[in-house]
A and B are shown apart, each in its own frame.
Chain A
Amino acid sequence: MYPNRDFRTTVMKILLMGNPNVGKSALFSRLTGTRIIASNYPGTTVEFTAGYLKLGDEQAEIIDVPGTYTLEASTKAEEVAVEMLRDGDLVINVVDATNLERNLNLTLQLLERQVPVIVALNMWDDTRHRGIGIDSAKMEELLGVPVVPTVAVTGQGIKELVSRLPEAQVSQAAFSSSDERWARVGDIVGQVQSLSHRHHTWRDVLEDVSDHPAGGGFVAVVVLFVAFWVIRLVGEGIVGYVTDPLFEWLWTPLLMKLSLALGSGGFWHSILIGSLIDGQIDYFQSFGLLSTGLYIPLAAVLPYIVAFYLALGILEDVGYLPRLAVLMDTLMHRLGLHGFAIIPTILGLGCNVPAVMATRILESRRQRFIAATLISIGVPCAALQAMIVGLVGQQGAQYVAMVYGSLFISWVIIGLILNRTVRGFSPELLVEIPPYRFPPWRVVGEKLWLRVSGFIREALPIVLGAVLLVNVLYNLGVFDFLVNIAAPVVSGLLGLPKEAVVPLAMGFLRKDVAVGMLAPLALTAKQLVISSTVLAMFFPCVATFVILARELGARDMLKASGIMIAAALVVGSLQNLIL
C-alpha cells in the first residue's frame, strides 16, 4: 500500500503538501499539537517542521512541507518541498477550497506520483462566504482518492481526516502534457463547483482600496501608524504596569538584602549585583548578573518583543504584508530586490535570525545576498530597538530619530550600491495576493507565545552569559588591551571615548547588552547616536552570523561582513563630522 515506505524504520512519514498559503501549518498544529508559525501570506514556512501523530497503534511522523505551486520548483523553499516528496509514505494534499482550479493542478501532479494521497479541502468555511459550492463526494469520485472538507484554524473536519488516512490511495493518473492536465482540472472543477452571486462585502471594498495606488499608499500609512501606536501602547503598558513595578517592588529589595549579605562589595558582589550607583542598584548601569543581566532581557526588551510580535502576527494573519510588497516593489527594485523582500525586512525588525532565513522566499542568489546583507546592516532587531529607544530616548526623541534616519538612509544607499555591483540577476515580483482574513485569535495568540517563549529561551542565557563574560573580562583586565588597540579608530574616526570599544565588541554577542554597556560611559547625546548606529550596523549578533553563514555560504557571509564593517565606519565617521 505504501510503495515508498521503508519498513525497516517503524515510523510512517506523512507529508502535508499544497500550494503556499492554504493552511498547511495550521493543519499541522491541529494534527500534531505542535505549535508552529502560520500566517496569511505565501512562504511562511521555508523549512520543514516535523511532529508526531498517533495513528492507531502506530506513531506517524507528520511533516509540514513548504508550499509549492508545482512540482517543478522555482524557489529554494519549493525545492525543499519537491525533495521531500521522495521519502514520503503518504501525502495529505491540502487544497484551498476557495481556489479549486489552481490547487487541483498540484493535486493532479501529486496523483501522477507513486504515493498515496488524501485531499484535505481546507478553508471550507470560507467557500460559503464567497458564494462557492463544492460537491466533495463527487470530487472524491473523480479524483479517486479521499476528499475531506476541513477548517484547520477551528479544527473542523480534522477527526474525519485522521480517521480516513488509511484510505489514502495511489492513483493511476497520468497526463502527457501540462495542457492535458489543465484540461482535466477544468473538467473536474466544472463538475464539482457551483458559483452563486454574492454581494460586495466590506472585505472586498477594503481589498479594492488597498490595491489602488493612492488608496494603497493611504492604507499603508494608516496601517504602519496604527502598528507603531499599538507597539508603543502595549510595550510601554507592560513596562509601566508590569515589569518595572515587579523589579522595583519585589526584586530590588531582595537584591539589596543580598548586597548587604555579600558585604556591599567584593568579587561575588561585582559578578552577581555589579556596582552600586550612589548606594543603589541601577538596572542599566550596575551590570551584575542578577541586576542588569535579568533586567535587560525581561524588563527592557521583553515587553517590546511581545508588543512587536503581537502587531506583526495580526498583520501577517490579516494578509496585509503581500499588499505592502506590491506597494514597495518600485523602491525595492532600485535596491536590486523586489517587493516581496519587504517581508523578511519587516521580520528583521523583530529578530534578524528568522529574517535572514525568510530571504529564501526570494528567487535568485543575488537577491538573497542583497536582502540578507541589507537586513544585517540597516534593520535593527526589537531587542536593540528597545534599548536604543530606552537609552537614547532619554536625551530626546530627535536623537532616536537620528539613529533610525541614519539606518534607513544607509539601507537605501547600500542597496543602491549593491544593485549596481553585485552580479547575477534579480527577477521581478510574482506573488499571489491572499484575500483579507479576520485574524484567527487562537493562531495569533499561539504564534505570539511561540515567538516570545523562543526569545526567552534563546536570548536569556546569552544575555546572562554576556554579562558574566563582561564582568570576568573586566576583572582580568583583558579589555584594557582591546581598548588600546582599537582606540585610534573609535576615538579618531567615531569621536567616541576609547572605553566604547568594549560595548562595540560585545555587540557581537548581544546587541541589547551592548547598548546597556553604553549607559555607564556618560556619553553625550551625539556620542550615543553614533555608538547606537554603529552598533546596529556593525557585525550582526553571533546568532545572525551563524544563520548568514548557513544561508549564504562562508564566502558570501565574509563579503557581507566586510560590507557591514565598512558601512558602519563610514556612517559613524560621517555622523561624527556632521552632527
Chain B
Amino acid sequence: MPDKRRLTLSQMEPGQSGTVVEVLSGPGFVMRRGPGFMRRRGLGFMGRRGPGFMRGHGPGFGLRLEALGVRPGKKLTKVSSMLFRGPVTLRVGNTQVAVGFGMANRIIVEVDVPE
C-alpha cells in the first residue's frame, strides 16, 4: 500500500528520509487538520478575513521552495522540528532549509521504509 507511506513533512520523524511527491498549494488545506488546529488564530475561523488571515504561507510558496531545491522527485531528509508547532528543518542534497510548520504540512513525502 504505497499510500500508507505518504506522510507530510511535519508527520515525519527526525532522521527519516523520503522522496518529495507533491507540494500542496491553496490556502490552509492541510493546516485545518491535526490536533490543536482550532487554537491557531485565523484558521479556527476558517475563511474569516482579518488580521493574520492566510498566515500559513506566502504567495509563490511552492516556487520559493522549488528555487531552494525542494521539489517533487527530490530526496529529502527531515533533520529536526522545533516544539510547539515550530519550524521544521530539512535537508535536500547539501542544502539545509527551515520551513514553517504550516508549510511542512503541505510538503507530501513518500517515506523510505527500511526493508
Contact = CB atoms under 8 A, between A and B. Distances in A.
Interface of A: 69-70, 72, 74, 98-99, 101-102, 105-106, 130, 132, 178, 182, 207-208, 211-213, 216, 322, 325-327, 329-330, 336, 338-339, 363-364, 419-435
Interface in B43-85: 50-61, 63-69, 71, 79-85
Contacts, number: 129
Given A130-B94, A213-B82, A329 B60 contact: no
Contacts of A178: 66
Chain A CB count within 10 A is highest, among B66, B97, B98, for B98
A363 B100 CA distance: 14
A213 B86 contact: yes
A548 to B, nearest CB: 22
B96 interface: yes
B98 A74 contact: no
B87 A74 contact: no
Contact of A425 (B14, B55, B80, B96): B55
Given A329-B82, A329-B86, A425-B52, A74 B68 contact: no
Contacts of B103: 428, 430
A427 B94 contact: no
Interface of B: 14, 50-61, 63-69, 71, 79-87, 89, 93-103
A423 B103 CA distance: 21
Contact of A420 (B51, B57, B80): B51
A475 to B, nearest CB: 51
A432 B53 CA distance: 25
A74 B93 contact: no
B51 A363 contact: no
Contact of A330 (B86, B94, B98): B86
A330 B85 contact: yes
B98 A429 contact: yes
27 contacts: A72-B67, A74-B64, A99-B95, A102-B93, A106-B67, A130-B94, A211-B80, A211-B89, A212-B80, A213-B80, A322-B98, A329-B86, A339-B98, A363-B58, A419-B52, A423-B50, A426-B52, A427-B61, A427-B100, A428-B57, A428-B102, A430-B65, A430-B97, A430-B98, A430-B103, A433-B89, A433-B97
Contacts of B57: 427-428
B40 to A, nearest CB: 10
B79 A430 contact: no
A364 B69 contact: no
Contacts of A132: 94
Contacts of B66: 178, 182
Contacts of A216: 80, 82
Contacts of B80: 211-213, 216
A327 B81 CA distance: 10
B63 A432 contact: no
Given A99-B94, A178-B66, 4 more contacts: A211-B96, A326-B82, A330-B82, A428-B103
A28 B21 CA distance: 39
B39 to A, nearest CB: 12
B79 to A, nearest CB: 5
Ranked nearest first, the 7 interchain pairs of A and B with the lowest CB-CB distance are: A428-B100, A427-B58, A69-B67, A102-B69, A433-B96, A70-B67, A330-B86
A329 B87 CA distance: 7
Contacts of B86: 213, 326, 329-330
B99 A428 contact: yes
Chain B CB count within 10 A is highest, among A98, A178, A431, for A431
B63 A427 contact: no
Contact of A432 (B81, B82, B87, B96): B96
Contacts of A101: 69, 93
B17 to A, nearest CB: 15
B64 A426 contact: no
Contact of A431 (B61, B63, B97): B97
Contacts of B69: 101-102, 105
A74 B58 contact: yes
A430 B95 contact: no
A329 B100 contact: yes
Chain A CB count within 10 A is highest, among B50, B66, B102, for B66
B95 A425 contact: no
B56 A428 contact: yes
A105 B64 CA distance: 12
B100 A338 contact: yes
